[in-house]
């Protein structure tokens, strides 16, 4: 099987798959649009992979091909579309989707890392022809019942599969109310994953429409959100009904010291939201507040283009950086560990 995720998230998705019983991640790569993680899942364990909230889509593998054997779209299509693995993949697809019929609609999606020897569209044409020759009653349509993807996930190496998921997976069931600038749910899930494991309160002090809060609840946290905009609070309350959400200023939170086990937020530095005044001093004030309300040992995960060192209080120790590409824009998830007072004072 294989999963796609936002570029930059493959190491995290790979780790999360490996942590699931009966699943072993084997390899990862990038097909020019998405990161790809290949994995094996035993019978009875596939549903866990399909429930992974950091993946955009999950596929059952149909076949692989290598440019070293043949850098030719017709031969790559023939290597991918072989009867025996296909039969197995189709029966898994039927278990997850709906029973197969003699007449089905299908479409082929291809992604290549280089068009030096042939175009992506030529591979799509050849794979479509291979499917047509094999399944005479299947017809091409868009949208289609079956989506067949062939992705060059490393230079020269292709993996192809039938898509088992649909847009509902990426949207995690969908927000009941939308608000501009809302975070992609899979990225919110990844940030929550970087914050460690519950129990305790996970705080989002700039919660917007509540995407991080919803993912925190799904991961088993108690979720608390604040936003300076009352209309955001009303929306977050609808989208994350089990969370406690209030109007508040992240610069002056009315929360007790060390009351949150983790703090995860998407700071207002995007195209849609900006802060008033000078950014570094705003950030320094907010980070001091975040450090105050997060308990020692807790994780802090921030999505922002940059976190200048000058804005960081001594009690937040950097632990990692995950650069992610989201709709063509580079963003970064910055992780910190809240130190105890004595450790923060140590030179």
Ligand X SMILES: C[S@@+](CC[C@H](N)C(=O)[O-])C[C@H]1O[C@@H](n2cnc3c(N)ncnc32)[C@H](O)[C@@H]1O
User: CB of residue 123 vs ligand X: minimum separation in angstroms?
Assistant: 37
* Of the candidate residues 28, 35, 56, 227, the single one contacting ligand X (CB under 6 A): 227
In eight-state DSSP terms, residue 271 is S
- Smallest distance, ligand X to C-beta of residue 323, A: 18
Q: Nearest distance from residue 210's CB to ligand X, in Å? A: 7
Beta bridge partners of 23: 41
Query: Which position among 1, 6, 182, 194 is part of the footprint of ligand X (CB under 6 A)?
Result: 182
Q: Which stretch binds ligand X (CB under 6 A): 69-77, 91-99, 194-202, 205-213?
A: 205-213
| Residue sitting closest to ligand X (CB) | 208
Distances in whole angstroms, Cα of residue 302 to Cα of each of 138, 190, 191, 224, 297: 48, 12, 8, 16, 16
- 10 Å Cβ neighbour count for 324? 22
Task: Rule CB under 6 A: choose which of 85, 270, 297, 313 binds ligand X.
Answer: 270
- Residue range at the interface with ligand X (CB under 6 A); choices 16-24, 32-40, 180-188, 290-298: 180-188
Question: Are the C-beta atoms of residues 297 and 338 closer than 8 Å to each other?
Answer: yes
CB 212 within 8 A of CB 240: no
**Total chain residues near ligand X (CB under 6 A):** 23
Phi then psi dihedrals of residue 37, to 5 deg: -120, 120
Helix (H/G/I), strand (E/B), else coil: 251: coil
Q: In this chain, which of 96, 219, 229, 244 binds ligand X, going by CB under 6 A? A: 229
For ligand X, the closer of residues 76 and 236 by Cβ is 236
Helices marked H in the chain: 10-18, 46-50, 73-80, 83-96, 120-134, 167-171, 185-194, 211-218, 230-239, 279-293, 341-345
Q: Which is nearer to ligand X, 203 or 226 (CB)?
A: 226
Decide: is 174 part of the binding site for ligand X (CB under 6 A).
Answer: no
Q: Which is nearer to ligand X, 13 or 301 (CB)?
A: 301
CB 181 within 8 Å of CB 235: no
Residues at the site binding ligand X, with contacts judged by CB under 6 A: 179, 181-183, 205-206, 208-209, 211-212, 226-229, 232, 249-251, 266, 268, 270, 273, 275
């Amino acid at each position: 099987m294989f999963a796609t995720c936002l570029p930059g998230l493959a190491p995290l998705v790979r780790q999360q798959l490996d942590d699931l019983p009966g699943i072993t991640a084997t390899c990862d790569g990038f097909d020019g649009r998405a990161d790809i993680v290949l994995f094996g899942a035993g019978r009875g364990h596939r549903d866990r992979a399909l429930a992974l909230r950091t993946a955009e889509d999950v596929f059952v593998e149909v076949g692989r091909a290598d440019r070293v054997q043949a850098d030719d779209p017709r031969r790559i299509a023939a290597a991918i579309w072989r009867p025996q693995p296909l039969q197995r993949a189709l029966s898994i697809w039927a278990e997850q989707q709906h029973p197969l019929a003699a007449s089905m609609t299908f479409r082929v999606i291809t992604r290549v890392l280089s068009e030096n020897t042939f175009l992506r569209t030529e591979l799509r044409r050849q794979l479509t022809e291979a499917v047509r020759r094999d399944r005479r009653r299947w017809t091409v349509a868009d949208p289609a019942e079956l989506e067949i993807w062939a992705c060059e996930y490393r230079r020269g190496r292709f993996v192809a599969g039938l898509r088992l998921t649909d847009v509902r997976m990426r949207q995690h069931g969908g927000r009941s109310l939308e608000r501009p600038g809302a975070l992609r749910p899979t990225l919110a899930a990844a940030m929550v994953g970087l914050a460690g494991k519950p129990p305790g309160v996970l705080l989002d002090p700039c919660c917007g429409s509540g995407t991080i809060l919803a993912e925190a609840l799904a991961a088993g946290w108690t979720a608390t959100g604040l936003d300076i905009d009352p209309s955001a609070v009303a929306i977050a309350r609808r989208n994350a009904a089990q969370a406690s959400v209030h109007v508040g200023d992240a610069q002056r939170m009315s929360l007790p010291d060390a009351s949150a086990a983790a703090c995860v937020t998407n700071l207002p530095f995007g195209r849609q939201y900006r802060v008033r005044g000078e950014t570094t001093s705003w950030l320094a004030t907010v980070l001091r507040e975040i450090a105050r309300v997060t308990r020692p040992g807790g994780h802090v995960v921030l999505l922002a283009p940059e976190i200048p060192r000058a804005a960081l209080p001594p009690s937040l120790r950097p632990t990692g950086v995950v650069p992610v590409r989201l709709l063509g824009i580079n963003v970064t998830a910055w992780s910190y560990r809240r130190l105890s007072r004595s450790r923060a004072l140590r030179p």
